[in-house]
Structure 1
Amino acid sequence: MATNTAPALQNLPLEPNSFVGRERDVSDILRLIEAHRVVTLCGVGGIGKTRLALRVAGHATSHFRDGVWLCELSDTTSRKEIITRMATAVGVGEEDGRDLEHTLADVLRSRGLLLVLDNCEHVVADVAAVVERLVALCPDVSFLVTSREPARAPGEAVWRVPPLAVPRPDQDDPCGAEAVRLFVDRARASAHDFTATPERLEVIAEICRRLDGIPLGIELAAARVRLLSVTQIAARLGDRFTVLTSGERGAPARQQTLRAVIDWSHGMLDERERVLLRRLSVFSNWNLDLAERVCADASLPAESLLDLVVSLVDRSLVTVAGEEQGRMRYRLLDTIRQYAAARLDDSGEEEALRLRHREQMLALAEELSRNTVFGHGMAWPQRVDVWYRVLVDYDNLRSALSWSATREDAAEGLRLCVALRPFWMVSGQRAEGAYWTDRFLAMGCADEGLRGQAMVRRAELAWDQRDHARAAHVGEEGLRYCRAAGDDDSVALALNILAMTDMRDRELDRARERLAEAVALTRAVGDPWNEGLALGTQGALAALEGRLDEAGAHYEEALTILRRIDHRWGVGRTLIGQGMVAEARGDLFGADQCFREALDIQRSIGGAPELARCLAGVGRISALQGAVAQAYDYLSESLALCHGTGQRLGVARGLLAIATVARTQGLDAEATVLAGAAAGVRERSGHPPASAPWPLRDGAFAARWEEGRSLDVDEAVKSALRLAETGRAPRRRPQAPDTAPSALTRREHEIALLIGEGMSNRSIAESLFISPATVARHVANIHTKLGFNSRTQIAAWIRDH
């Protein structure tokens, strides 16, 4: 397999409209970024900091070998949330038993990238602390920050974002001024027949001067040309701005001007538009369905919201954020959102809107929870659909959690935590889930059944974080509450978690009893999801005790149940266990089938740790079957994925796996260096040594072993990937390169070219507007026609021919 886990080079959004002016600013800031590792763009709201930062970042992509990454921080409230957002932006996952900040620093230490931290003023001290630490530890990472005040990080260069240039009163041709160019551009976008006559240009120049060249103010004014002439706009601005009395009296003049232009634009809305605008401030972003459920009432009927949203978009008060799952999503610029939130507070509606917002977020989260464990009658695409809806609305869910915590609404907060547990588990955000659950549990909750549910889910998070003592303690207490409440689902889940802690502590008889109880309970109440989990854990227990045939039978029974309810995530997890049992029994064909099916499932879901385990499994079996080149391909991809997401134990295992394959080729010295490096990674990360000692670590190989142990993780990974590349067996090349393409269909050749560019099946499918399954079929045909067995061979053939 070619590497499908190579990182993209940026996550910047598409520009919603043309970028006007500031050409010199962009060039100057790019030079600042070359000279300083922390550059902060400062200025009042609406001055254009974010748009300028995104423009600079787009130009800077080629200057950073690992790309540029946007991290939006407008709704963060703590250092932990900042770290989580940054890790998500660059694709770093949580590492079991370790603080995410340390994992992030380790991964970024070898990367050369630019992080764009947007809207930081409300958490500027925490941002400065995180940036200072990463600058010290990661020599090739730079930061571009936007804030209304400097971050004051060491070595920071501050760029005060100026207003757009406005024409002088005596200037003959105002068209060259940036502010006028922006007004004309946005006016034409609003009214396509708008023409900039000399008479209009004189009035536009005056409007831009009155607005102090503030881009947001100019855009709001230009959006009115569909309803008003530029002369009418200027007259209304004149009435408003003759004396700047809007906003706070002590605020800077430009801030007063911005407040005044937003007041003016707000004042031109009709009453229903004003009501909707202030109500929309409860969202981080939204689609029309969500807005109808939260914002509509008797005074603002749901059927009227589409026209009102379109009207607010036309007036540049609402921004189109893009399309997700076939639905357009919208957002408010941070400055507009703050203004609208103040209007909502003044109206006395805030609590009612926040409650409605939380009610919708609870409904979404609890639908996810039900779909995760629901038994019969639900196809896998339905389960995936709600998971993606949670992903899209996760910032809104965070807002609901934060608001509930501020009010100390323990019960509602715990309900959210219980429901979001599947999302936190699959997406790898276990630390965030643990943070919120602990916070609400500490408040106390009169509903002991709900408290028990939350404690059981908290135990599961602790288990996945390798905090086994906490998993056992919290799990036992949660089990007691759930038994008392008659919550069979949670009792079964608790028994499964506690059985796993028993297995780790070698309390195997107790684990066996718990699992037997869990299976009996789930069968009695008709709970196939938890029954499948318990059977899978019974398989793991039997394998631990060396009863491999029994283990295989348990896994097979679990798979039958999970396939019957079409729960592919559960199937994928179970297949990994079954594959390991087959491998231990010497059933290479069966193991290969398990790992490959699990790999297909994990690629579609995107869970990095499980995906890495599947890749490693296929790689090991390929090596045992004599397919050395294919083994190196899969093991290299697994190693790169673990390294890129900060999974040090996975890195150690990957190094050792590649070393093992290299040893079969007689590359003993090189293999011993890698095996020593694997041991060093384990030692430094606090993990126990590998179960089987490396046989070539003494005598003539002692120096090589110590050489490997001294390598840092980045050098070790590079060495392993180099060794895998040189150790691959000779590939079969096409005999007639000039005529080989004719063996492929036009579509197959098109897909081969995209594979040569390093694109995954999912990316190819999105690019060609076909399904991933169709891409997979074409790839299989390419392999057959050209005599290849890996994507790497296809890519090499494309490069050569």
Structure 2
Amino acid sequence: MTGGTSDRLILTPDQRVRVFVSSTLTELAAEREAVRAAVDRLHLLTVMFEAGARPHAPRDVYRSYLAQSQIFVGIYDESYGWIGPDSTISGLADEYRLARGLPRLVYVKEPAPDRDPRLVDLLAEVAADLDVVRRRFRSPDELRGLVERDLAALLSQRFHQTRQARAGEPGEVLRVPSARTPLVGREHELEVLTSRLTQDRVSLLTLVGPGGVGKTRLATALAERVACGYPDGVRFVDLSTAAGVDGVGEVFARALRLRTSDNVGSFDDVESFLRAKRMLLVVDNFEHVAGAAPGLAALLRAAPGVTALVTSRAPLRLTDERVYRVPPLRSAPQSTRTDLATITQRFSAVRLFVDRARAADRRFRLTDDNVEPVLEITRRLGGVPLAIELAAARVPLLPPAQIAALLDDQLSLLTGGQRDLPARQRTVRDTLAWSYRLLPPDARRLFARTGVFTGGFDLAAVEAVCAGESFDVFTALESLVDAALVEPDENDRFRMVDSVRLYALERLAADDDATAVRDRHAAHFVDFALLAAPHLNTPDSPVWLDRLDRDLPNLGAATDWLLESGRPGEALRIGWAIWPLWWQRGYIDESRRYISGILDQAARLSPKLHGRALVASGAMALVSGQDEQARGDFERARVLAREADDPVTEARALGPLGSFASRDGDHERAGQLLREAYELAINGDQQWLISLFHSRIGMIAYREGDPAAARRHLDDAVRVSAQGGDELGMVVARYTAAVVRSADGDGAGAHHSLLAGLRLAARSGDQASVGLFLAAFADLAGADGRLDRAVRLAAAAASFETPSSKLWMRAYVPPWPVAGPGLATIRVRLGDDVFDRGWREGERLGLRGAIDEAARE
């Protein structure tokens, strides 16, 4: 061989990915065939135990087959499987554990009323594993579809990650909006801005310009280019969704997936989390909350490794800010006379028009016949990208000459009372008005109604707000997409750039039907919340939480409208349905605001709804460290729930009251309240409450000197959480079990329980629990005398902990029984230099590195 390729493996054309299928052979025969069909359809190879190698021992067969496979698929029903004569676990369990390191897809058949308890334990292990995709299915046909989709997504995702993810990270490094179209004409700007971020090392770079000039698109392209320089990743913060200046910290916390509380400022949590991070924050639409600039400055001072890339219509006027005024694209002067190739090369405004026109109509070409009107259009629009895109979108209906004529004739008439705006901003608004007037009447009507949405929407939501209209919604929506007023987004959703959304809001405000539109919007999102509710705190919960998260701005807007129009009961229906989203994602600022608004109108609530609102208020106070308010809310809620015969709400009130009694040392009363709550939860089939109460009752049993009863309850908590897919209950159960085992001197058992909980918390994005588990690992390491490891783990824990996260976990889990030396003592023993070096190493571990460090025995 030549050319330096002799050290490379050259694969033959028949190489295919091998998919190892693990399941019992007879119980799931039909399901195995369904998986084989799905794998074959994707042109992969199915590897099954029964395929051959009969002379060999079964364990040797599946070990060898697994070693040659690239993907593991596990299918489970009720049987735990065969256990070999020299083994303590089944081949099914052994295969799963041997497959660590492979991508693992696990499918669990439901219902399974007679499932072997050993399989229940194995599935609990699966649920706690960070790297496993887990689904439920009911039939072979459903399984076939799930496997086919998951395999296709896995292969696509792994290809994508090889291009974007970096070593040591769990994969979610870059989180900015994906672009549907190429960035045109910004090569010079990207070079200049890349230099400022990578060479000048500025901490705050603000891209300034009028709406429509392309600030957000340029910022996201720049973030993609420089992402590799930020080991802790890139996060996108859209301030157009902030509820005023006071809500800015909340939006930052949500973008970083941080829990908040009512007793700690959100910016304090954000500062604490970012203090040791090396991260890029893309902060969009700062002009909406200009008064929050000092908060951003304080954040950057507290977190010297963080860079903020801001978009705004005006500078923030901060000391360390570097401002870059985003220019319009280059348009050709009036007297331009040159060939077509030179025009497209020299004038980026023309390139953009041609690119978007061809996207709208593949037949379009820049020719000698249309070049002059194209030049005129780009000149007339001042090189503003959004205006050019709106004009180019009309090419399928109008030739460039007619577009140019209409712009000349009509834009000067579309003042709309906005002639005091800067020229380029006026150009965008007038072009929007021009594009709006060219829409068919039905599309104009739909466009106004899209103004009710915040943060995007799907087809079902559009159809809901147009209920009773005489036009075809899908056809009208297609017109808006064709006109570049609405963009298709991922997950079958649609979005509007900020300038377009604000114009749609203007059109909605001028509509006589605006109140009815807002009513229909609110009714749709009440229904959506109620649709999601049964799926939350189940194995399907992650999918539904993500769906709710995407529409969180719309759910909030619906709640605001219902409160504004005096319907607190309807607002509470949303909050009561989606509370697991607020709870598991930690959106306490938002939930507290809405619950307070509901309680301000308590006179309009029935006793049942009033009790539920008080339970919610008490829960927010509990995780905010406001114990006296929480006690009062829960006591009042308990009385109202009993009067209204609402056992679920009563159980939710009794559980925390039992925890308060235990904290006060009154274990007898605590046990009584928790057992009463447990019975109510059983009768109400509230699995997540049942798991939580098992953990709390188990801890009381331990404190009363009955470790056997404690272990039974904690095992039951793990089992119930695993069956219901309750991640929060599982995290609480694992941590509480580790507390009991550590206090009993069972370090190995505590390590096992902590590791299972840590992996689950990381998988679900629960950073508050990640910090909690890592701090416990640090104590175990210190108790074992591994002081350098204790320092690294303590630093890793601190990099995930925030003031609110500590309050949150205090509300759910018992204090850790400290066994190792404190950090001050470790510093003395190791010396300042060794301690500080270890601390820096721990801060830089990241999520994946911290898990690997914790997992080491």
Shorter-normalised TM range: 0.7 to 0.9
> What SS is found at the alignment partner of 2:389?
helix
* 2:127 corresponding residue in structure 1: none
Contact 1:492-1:522 within 8 A present in 2 as well:
yes
* 115-124 or 249-258, which deviates more: 249-258
**Deviation (angstroms), 1:760:** 12
Q: 2: CA distance between counterparts of 1:528 and 1:9?
A: 34
**Deviation (angstroms), 1:641:** 5.6
Alignment of 1:627-642 (within 5 A): 639=794, 642=797
Q: 1:254 to 1:57 in 2, by over 3 A?
A: same
Amino acid at match of 1:704: V
* 2:485 corresponding residue in structure 1: 317
CA deviation map 1:283-338 (0-9, x unaligned): 221122222233342413xxx33333233222211112223xxxx11101111111
> What SS is found at the alignment partner of 1:225?
coil
CA deviation map 1:514-560 (0-9, x unaligned): 12322343445555543443333211211233321121222344455
1:264 to 402, 411, 434: 434
* 1:39 corresponding residue in structure 2: 205
Q: 2: CA distance between counterparts of 1:354 and 1:496?
A: 38
Q: 2: CA distance between counterparts of 1:498 and 1:466?
A: 14
**Deviation (angstroms), 1:250:** 2.4
Contact 1:583-1:591 within 8 A present in 2 as well:
yes
Q: 2: CA distance between counterparts of 1:716 and 1:409?
A: 56
In structure 2, stretches of 5+ residues that fail to align are: 1-99, 102-166
Q: 2: CA distance between counterparts of 1:567 and 1:58?
A: 35
Amino acid at match of 1:262: L
Contact 1:69-1:115 within 8 A present in 2 as well:
yes
Alignment of 1:698-777 (within 5 A): 704=828, 717-718=839-840
**Deviation (angstroms), 1:393:** 1.5
> What SS is found at the alignment partner of 1:226?
coil
1:468 to 598, 607, 627: 627
2:470 to 290, 299, 310: 299
Q: 1: CA distance between counterparts of 2:553 and 2:742?
A: 42
Q: 1:331 to 1:61 in 2, by over 3 A?
A: same
Contact 1:247-1:256 within 8 A present in 2 as well:
no
Amino acid at match of 1:140: G
* 168-177 or 559-568, which deviates more: 559-568
Q: 2: CA distance between counterparts of 1:460 and 1:435?
A: 13
Contact 1:489-1:530 within 8 A present in 2 as well:
no
Q: 2: CA distance between counterparts of 1:100 and 1:553?
A: 39
**Deviation (angstroms), 1:209:** 1.2
Q: 1:689 to 1:286 in 2, by over 3 A?
A: closer
Amino acid at match of 1:161: V
Contact 1:94-1:646 within 8 A present in 2 as well:
no
**Deviation (angstroms), 1:47:** 1.8
Contact 2:777-2:854 within 8 A present in 1 as well:
no
Q: 1:268 to 1:393 in 2, by over 3 A?
A: same
1:273 to 439, 443, 449: 443
**Deviation (angstroms), 1:639:** 4.8
Amino acid at match of 1:485: A
* 1:643 and 2:798 aligned: yes
CA deviation map 1:146-199 (0-9, x unaligned): 222232333433333332221111111333212111111111111112111122
> What SS is found at the alignment partner of 1:74?
helix
* 1:230 and 2:396 aligned: no
* 1:515 corresponding residue in structure 2: 674
1:143 to 308, 333, 344: 308
Amino acid at match of 1:250: D
Q: 1:74 to 1:506 in 2, by over 3 A?
A: same
* 2:218 corresponding residue in structure 1: 52
2:369 to 184, 193, 199: 199
1:69 to 224, 231, 235: 235
* 440-449 or 584-593, which deviates more: 584-593
Q: 2: CA distance between counterparts of 1:636 and 1:454?
A: 43
Q: 1: CA distance between counterparts of 2:849 and 2:741?
A: 32
**Deviation (angstroms), 1:97:** 5.6
Q: 2: CA distance between counterparts of 1:455 and 1:4?
A: 44
* 1:285 and 2:476 aligned: no
**Deviation (angstroms), 1:216:** 1.0
Alignment of 1:51-200 (within 5 A): 51-94=217-260, 98-126=264-292, 128-173=293-338, 174-175=343-344, 176-200=346-370
Q: 2: CA distance between counterparts of 1:506 and 1:151?
A: 53
Q: 1: CA distance between counterparts of 2:561 and 2:458?
A: 21
Q: 1:370 to 1:247 in 2, by over 3 A?
A: same
1:442 to 600, 604, 608: 600
Q: 1:417 to 1:588 in 2, by over 3 A?
A: same
Q: 2: CA distance between counterparts of 1:193 and 1:539?
A: 72
Q: 1: CA distance between counterparts of 2:636 and 2:569?
A: 18
Amino acid at match of 2:706: R
Q: 1:400 to 1:715 in 2, by over 3 A?
A: farther
Alignment of 1:503-652 (within 5 A): 503-524=662-683, 527-563=686-722, 565=724, 567=726, 569-585=728-744, 594-595=753-754, 597-599=756-758, 601-613=760-772, 639=794, 642-647=797-802
> What SS is found at the alignment partner of 1:330?
strand
Amino acid at match of 1:148: R
> What SS is found at the alignment partner of 1:198?
coil
Amino acid at match of 1:100: S
Q: 1:274 to 1:186 in 2, by over 3 A?
A: same
CA deviation map 1:698-733 (0-9, x unaligned): 9xx79816977998xx877326579x99xxxxxxxx
Superposed CA RMSD: 4.1
> What SS is found at the alignment partner of 1:546?
coil
**Deviation (angstroms), 1:221:** 0.8
Q: 2: CA distance between counterparts of 1:649 and 1:241?
A: 52
What's the TM-score, normalizing by structure 2?
0.71
Contact 1:104-1:646 within 8 A present in 2 as well:
no
Q: 1: CA distance between counterparts of 2:276 and 2:467?
A: 50
Q: 1: CA distance between counterparts of 2:687 and 2:318?
A: 54
1:484 to 640, 643, 660: 643
Amino acid at match of 2:840: K
**Deviation (angstroms), 1:121:** 1.6
Q: 1:715 to 1:392 in 2, by over 3 A?
A: farther
Q: 2: CA distance between counterparts of 1:758 and 1:566?
A: 23
Contact 2:207-2:215 within 8 A present in 1 as well:
yes
* 505-514 or 28-37, which deviates more: 28-37
Contact 2:259-2:804 within 8 A present in 1 as well:
no
Amino acid at match of 1:290: A
> What SS is found at the alignment partner of 2:308?
strand
> What SS is found at the alignment partner of 2:653?
helix
Amino acid at match of 2:572: L
* 2:390 corresponding residue in structure 1: 220
Q: 1:695 to 1:603 in 2, by over 3 A?
A: closer
Q: 2: CA distance between counterparts of 1:281 and 1:291?
A: 11
- Matched-pair identity in %: 29
- Structure with greater proportional helix content: 1
Contact 2:739-2:817 within 8 A present in 1 as well:
no
**Deviation (angstroms), 1:561:** 4.6
**Deviation (angstroms), 1:424:** 1.5
Amino acid at match of 2:798: H
Amino acid at match of 1:109: R
What's the TM-score, normalizing by structure 1?
0.75
Q: 1:190 to 1:697 in 2, by over 3 A?
A: closer
> What SS is found at the alignment partner of 1:158?
strand
Contact 1:73-1:118 within 8 A present in 2 as well:
yes
Q: 1:91 to 1:369 in 2, by over 3 A?
A: closer
> What SS is found at the alignment partner of 1:347?
coil
Aligned length: 679
